[in-house]
Amino acid sequence: MTTARRVLVTGGAGFIGANFVRYWSDHYPDDRLVVLDALTYAGNLANLASVSDRGNYKFVHGNILDEAMLDDVMRQQQIDTIVHFAAESHVDRSIHEPDAFIQTNVVGTNKLLMAARRLWLDSDAAPETHLFHHVSTDEVYGTLGADDPPFTEHTTYAPNSPYAASKAASDHLVRSYHHTFGLQVTTSNCSNNYGPFQFPEKLIPLMIVNALTGKPLPVYGDGSNIRDWLYVEDHCRGIDLVMNKGQVGGTYNIGGNNEWRNIDIVNQLCVSIDAAFSRDDRLAGQFPDAPAASGRKTESLITFVKDRLGHDWRYAIDATLAQSELGYNPKEDFASGFQLTLNWMLQNENWWRAVMDGSYRDWISKNYSAGA
């Protein structure tokens, strides 16, 4: 693709979407970027502050369930590329309140596909070329045992949580619009992301915030569950490669080559926070409630809590296809990616304090109590 594109990014005010908008803006400055986001609890315009005065950028506050709005935006902005991030994304919430996941992830994805089909395949205003890129997760493949090979693109779908099931359904819908109608689509299934702007309900930012504010670090079950961690910028690069070099109709797994047990992640994080406080005296004044501020070990906050229902034991990605066909390789290992993330969290206290409002804390303490 060489000419400037008109790109609609759904969910662009969320964690990965905002990182992607920033990435795309840097790499493709001539492209028009339209961010469409409902600004749920996870969406935050502050995540887009650095691109908001970019020419060729527009933010639309809207819900992907709103068909008329989708048609208007697609037509008025002459969209030829969609990158679809908008979703309910937190497994714990899907266990307690699954309905929103079906609405946004399944029904919403279908509405977006229908709008794309109306403009791109069934109208006189169709652009010369188009692409619908769908962002999905490795959780659609279910869970692995210790000796199982990592997920490939051919692993059978076996989603275990309402979140994973809703994403699996959305993947199937995207596939079907390609097969049935000829919509030009690509899909990527990635592992657990971490990095700047991640809402502090997910493991890594939650643990950092709690460590800095002297709150318990809640490890579900015995902490032996394993995830493959992917630094968000590596994910954005992977999506770029899939969109520009991937086979239309194709699916690509994007991983970080970084399998860690949860308890090892949390221990590592505690050591890194202790080290940051030893290096920089000012942190004790900035975060007086952190154990590290008074010379205690952050690991003293680790608390084992009741396990998540249906908790998948292990996720691992085999990214050989993306590697061999697209030249994808993650740049960050966990040590470097985690240091970037911790530094960002230390420097952006205002950001995480603003998003950690009272209602979220209440929800967590209602659903996850100590003492498993």
- Interface residues with ligand TYD (CB under 6 A) are 91, 192, 202-203, 206, 218-220, 225, 227, 262, 308
Q: Which amino acid is at 22?
A: R
Verify binding: residue 11, ligand NAD, rule CB under 6 A.
Answer: yes
Verify binding: residue 137, ligand NAD, rule CB under 6 A.
Answer: yes
Verify binding: residue 338, ligand NAD, rule CB under 6 A.
Answer: no
Q: Which of 139, 201, 259, 318 is catalytic?
A: 139
CB of 202 to ligand NAD, least distance (A): 6
Partner touching 5 among ligand NAD, ligand TYD, none, CB below 5 to 8 Å by kind: none
Residues 6+ apart with CB under 8 A from 292: 211, 273, 274, 276, 277, 278, 283, 284, 298
Verify binding: residue 108, ligand NAD, rule CB under 6 A.
Answer: yes
Catalytic: 163? Answer: yes
Partner touching 6 among ligand TYD, ligand NAD, none, CB below 5 to 8 Å by kind: none
Residue whose structure tokens are 């998003």: 355
Over its C-alpha atoms, the chain yields an Rg (Å, rounded) of: 20
Minimum CB distance to ligand NAD smaller for 13 or for 174 = 13
Task: Fill in the per-residue mask, 74 to 103: x = in contact with ligand NAD (CB under 6 A), - = not in contact.
Answer: -----------xxxxx--------------
Catalytic: 139? Answer: yes
CB of 303 to ligand TYD, least distance (A): 10
Residues 6+ apart with CB under 8 A from 327: 241, 245
Verify binding: residue 160, ligand NAD, rule CB under 6 A.
Answer: no
Among 161, 193, 257, 323, which residue interacts with ligand NAD (rule: CB under 6 A)? 193
Among 45, 46, 65, 305, which residue interacts with ligand NAD (rule: CB under 6 A)? 65
Catalytic: 67? Answer: no
Verify binding: residue 337, ligand NAD, rule CB under 6 A.
Answer: no
Minimum CB distance to ligand NAD smaller for 64 or for 301 = 64
Residues 6+ apart with CB under 8 A from 261: 223, 224, 225, 226
Minimum CB distance to ligand NAD smaller for 93 or for 130 = 93
Verify binding: residue 164, ligand NAD, rule CB under 6 A.
Answer: no
Partner touching 91 among ligand TYD, ligand NAD, none, CB below 5 to 8 Å by kind: ligand TYD
Give the residues lining the site for ligand NAD (CB under 6 A): 10-11, 13-17, 37-40, 42-43, 63-65, 85-89, 104, 108, 135-137, 167, 190, 192-193, 199
